[in-house]
Copies of this chain bind each other. A is one copy, B any other.
């Protein structure tokens, strides 16, 4: 349960699990795919949940630090996140025409990460692969 992970993470650092943090956690995990802080805030306001922009901006880094979510892009203006707990690692194909994001996974990539790290005596923790191009819909349409 992600709430346990978060509670435990906070506890270890002497931080508190406030109502606001719980609400943010819940909403993040109620979400399907990617989101940005503003989007999250808007959703919560629309549901009548009480949270401030500041709390959202202060809580997201905690969720990242606890390993529950990941920052996946910072390509246009704002940061994008996605939750990763119980959701497996994957990478992204990003369509440059319509912005669609397709999730993909390749075990071979994990092997390559290890290989590249070994060659440079580097202790690799995580990787992010983004392939930019054009999705099938846009190729047909345009």
Question: Does A132 reach chain B (CB closer than 8 Å)?
Answer: yes
Q: How many copies does the complex hold?
A: 2
Question: Does A123 reach chain B (CB closer than 8 Å)?
Answer: yes
Question: Does A46 reach chain B (CB closer than 8 Å)?
Answer: no
**A102-B120 contact, Cβ under 8 Å, with A74-B74, A108-B112:** yes
Q: Mark A108-125, 1 if CB is under 8 A from B, else 0.
A: 110011011101111111
Distance in angstroms between the alpha carbons of A92 and B14 in the assembled complex: 35
Choose from B96, B109, B120 the contact partner of A112 (Cβ within 8 Å).
Answer: B109
Q: Which residues of B contact A134 (CB under 8 A)?
A: 122-123, 125
For residue A91, give the distance in angstroms from its CB to the closest CB of chain B.
8
For residue A32, give the distance in angstroms from its CB to the closest CB of chain B.
18
Q: List 10 A-B contacts (CB under 8 A).
A: A74-B74, A96-B125, A104-B116, A113-B131, A117-B131, A117-B133, A120-B136, A123-B134, A123-B136, A127-B131
Q: Which residues of A contact B (CB under 8 A)?
A: 74-75, 91, 93, 95-96, 102, 104, 106, 108-109, 112-113, 115-117, 119-136, 139
Q: A123 to B133, Cβ gap below 8 A?
A: yes
Q: Which residues of B contact A136 (CB under 8 A)?
A: 120-123
Q: Which residues of B contact A122 (CB under 8 A)?
A: 93, 95, 102, 131, 133-136
